[in-house]
Amino acid sequence: MVLIHTELCDIVGIKHPILQGGMGPYKTEALSIAVANAGALGIISCIGMAATLLPEAAPLDAERLFGTDPPAVILQKSIEVVTKETRSSGGIFGVNVPVASEFILASQMFVEQTIESCKSDSDTERSLRVIVTSAGNPKPWSVLKDEGFIWIHVVPSAYHAKKAEAAGADVIVASGHEGGAHVSWDPVHSMVLVPTVAKAVKTPVVGAGGFCDGSTLAAALCMGAVGIQMGTRFIATKESDFEPMWKQAVIEREERQTLVGRGLFGPMRFLRNRRAEEIVEQTLEDLPNFYLGEPLDSNEKILDLERTGFVDLMDEKEDTALMFGGEVAGRIQDLPSTAELIEGIILEASEVLEKAPNFVVNK
């Protein structure tokens, strides 16, 4: 078997230097099992679970997606399922906890539940090694290391990477603007961001945003990263928890068919459809207020567009469903199993790296 072994594999204890990105609104339970069993890092996603806390305000009908359990119980059960389903392969998984200030009480609750789940089951303690924090201030989260977790933090800039390093993160994910869902307002893409962050910090860096195959994994390594995190590519896999319509939309979109607009927790990249266009129109209407720093009375309008977008997602209305996705959708045309995808990426990356000396024609 071909292997690409990097520092990331040693730190996390995985075979392949590939992380599955956290991806709400789903739990990504089935996906995390498949990814962990294939030797990469599977991730359970928490953000959607939190919607059950705010049934009135939340943009999605959480009960329809998760049932009536409280969020900590949803996470606890999910951890139990992933532990059980990865036991025989020895797969490693983690939990993604967004730590945006609007979300902080939920973040603490998810972290506490994750710690509790590890304490109460030795198999979970062995396999649930990682917590990935994202979309917020890393400073309060160094406690994760004291609890024995490998702590990975996601950043959109070298400035934020230095903060994550100062806080003690074990690994930093540099997330470029082409990525799906949450992005920074500053449009710095992976080609610039990954090498900039890799130079700015000594902590191992993982590239995210635009990675989908062996050549982009090889490119990430050449830019100083120790691995890649993928979101959009993993949506279009046989096992992923996403609606068939969403998987198909990733396969059909070309590279110019995504849009960035304002979401509830900041800017988001959507697969282009009528709903995404409406959100961008509302974002542009709000823009002068952003710069003036005034309270946004259109919050409710964005919320409504998101809420109906999620309802239409469940009702499989392609044109008005809310679907996030990265520019890399333009490079995705198939629906492989997760294991086929990961093995293919590793094989292609090793071929590319082997051929690399021949890229230069010496005269």
Contact set with ligand FMN (CB under 6 A): 21-24, 45, 47, 96, 98, 134-135, 154, 175, 178-182, 208-211, 229-233, 324-326, 328
Closer to ligand FMN by Cβ: residue 104 or 298: 104
Nearest distance in Å: CB 111, ligand FMN: 14
Give the nearest distance from C-beta 34 to ligand FMN in angstroms: 16
Of 303, 301, 267, whose CA–CA distance to 178 is shortest? 267
Closest contact distance (angstroms) between CB of 104 and ligand FMN is 15
**Closer by beta carbon to ligand FMN, 257 or else 359:** 257
Strand-strand pairing, 227-230 and 205-208: parallel
**CB of 197 closer than 8 Å to CB of 174:** yes
Please, what is the minimum distance in Å from the beta carbon of residue 330 to ligand FMN?
Answer: 10
Torsions phi, psi for 258 (to 5 deg): -130, 160
The answer to whether the beta carbons of residues 214 and 349 sit under 8 Å apart is yes
- Smallest gap from residue 6 Cβ to ligand FMN (A): 18
Q: How far is CA 181 from CA 88, 226, 246, 254, in A?
A: 33, 23, 13, 17
Closer residue to ligand FMN, CB minimum distance, 213 or 358 = 213
Give least dist CB 259 to ligand FMN, A. 13
- The backbone torsions φ and ψ at residue 101, rounded to the nearest 5 degrees and listed phi first, read -60, -35
Q: Among residues 11 and 181, whose Cβ is nearest to ligand FMN?
A: 181
Q: What amino acid occupies position 329?
A: A
Query: In this structure, are strands 266-271 and 181-182 parallel, antiparallel, or unpaired?
Result: antiparallel
Nearest to 127 by CA among 209, 230, 217, 42: 42
Q: Select the residue whose beta carbon is closest to ligand FMN and give its number.
A: 231
Closest approach of Cβ 181 to ligand FMN, in Å?
3
Q: Give yes or no for a contact between 226 and 16, defined as CB atoms under 8 angstroms apart.
A: no
Residue spans of beta strands (DSSP E) within 233-284: 258-263, 266-271
- Identify the helix (H) or strand (E) that includes residue 42: strand 42-45
Cβ proximity to ligand FMN, 100 vs 291, nearer residue:
100
- CB-nearer residue toward ligand FMN: 232 or 287: 232
Question: 65 or 154: whose CB is closer to ligand FMN?
Answer: 154
